[in-house]
Amino acid sequence: MNTSTRKHPSLPRPIQGEMKLENSNRLLAEAKRLVPGVTFSMMKRPEHFAPESFPVYLARGQGALVEDVDGQQYIDYIGGLGANMLGHNHPAVVEAIRKHLEEGLIHSLPTPIELSATQTLVEMIPGAEMARFFKTGADATSAAMRLARIITGKERIITVGYNGWHDHFMVGTPGVPAVMSQYTIRMPLFTPQDETALLASIAENAKQLAAVLISIPFNRCLSREFMHQLRAACTANEVLMVQDEVITGFRLARGGAQEFFDVKADFVCLSKALAAGMPLSAVAGPAKHLSKLGGMEVQVSTTFGGEMLSLAVCEATLKEYRKGGYIENLSALGSRLRTGINAHAEKAGSPLRVLGYDVIPFFLFDKNPVEHAKRMQPFQAGMARRGILLRRDVNFISAVHTEEQIDYTIEMAGEVLQSLAKAGNAA
């Protein structure tokens, strides 16, 4: 299929000959000299993909397609690590920036966009009456944990999943004071057995426990029954249930995981899709809780929370999410991708399975992380060679992916899996 003649083609231009990485590698060499870890987000480092067989730097994007610095195009399932919910260069985002750009970026007093963006947000989040904006997901989760301690008068927290890089979420990692382990209990939810352990830990630590901050796992689907058990355990032990919706917000349902599981959190943390790629996060919930962030003695503040362009994009983005068929389309595309790739994997005798929630497809070759990475790399390389960018595990369906792109991805996955099987890499 010749896609090069269309203004905004659905499929990437075929890569002719060997993959070109000259410009990517040149920039990578420069970055090793200037940037600790090469890039500013750990999950974008080259070693998380397929080094020497995968682009390192992207130059631009349109819709669900991106182009690297060597001029090669790809269907993008990385999606700015989940932030580009509307794809790249979405008209609603571009128009919001153009419309508000001449008004300035940040002013010396509050601006009306703070109110209108907040109003639009609380109308979408179940149980929300107030919200505070920040810049990153870690800002929001940190503010939420301080708020939980203020409300309960207790100091310990249980964290589930990745909740950000701040000290109280990264107990046991280099640079984090050992004393933090007295205040944070980190727990997984990767297996059904982990569910039982989490409920037991809530009861065991109830007298000191302020909150459970839960970011749901993506390698498996939690049941509504368990989420309601978690809610009941928190309520019975006077512990706040705080939903980390940095990834699930506006993705599992318009109202996020709360709506999807039909469970009420005490308040929620949001980011990533909140502003379609602009830097913004928020804590949202009922006034009885959120109002406590307004006291002068409570030092939860940020200069850039009121930055106008991000708030304008947030408001425009949330209005896009309200449109009919939005969630249903995401789910249908994700289900199509999962079913198609899993069928090819079975046919090729490959252990690869696409798991989890339809809108957040999780690719898994092996439950052992080291073995999985070893097997995923050649698959990522083969898919990139065919114009498709995938993360090693969690990937994202966006609102602008098309059936044509999904079907092309399925077809190319079949080709790669068959090629790996012939080379003896399927086992």
Structure tokens that stand for 386 in this block: 């065919």
Which pLDDT belongs to residue 372? 97
252 found inside a domain: yes
Look at the pTM and tell me if it is higher than 0.85.
yes
Instruction: Give residue for tokens 């709506």.
Output: 259
320 found inside a domain: no
413 found inside a domain: no
140 found inside a domain: yes
What phi, psi does 237 have (nearest 5°)? -105, 10
Residue 167: which domain range?
106-306
377 found inside a domain: no
257 found inside a domain: yes
What are 273-317's pLDDT values in tens digits?
Answer: 999 999 999 999 999 999 999 887 888 889 999 999 999 999 999
List the 65-68 sheet strands across, edge first. Answer: 58-62, 65-68, 73-76, 388-389
322 found inside a domain: no
Structure tokens that stand for 63 in this block: 């819709």
The CATH number given to whatever domain includes residue 246 is: 3.40.640.10
Give the separation between CA 424 and CA 318, rounded to whole angstroms: 47
**Count of domains forming the chain:** 1
* Terminal alpha carbon distance of the chain: 33
74 found inside a domain: no
What are 84-115's pLDDT values in tens digits?
Answer: 999 999 999 999 999 999 999 999 999 999 99
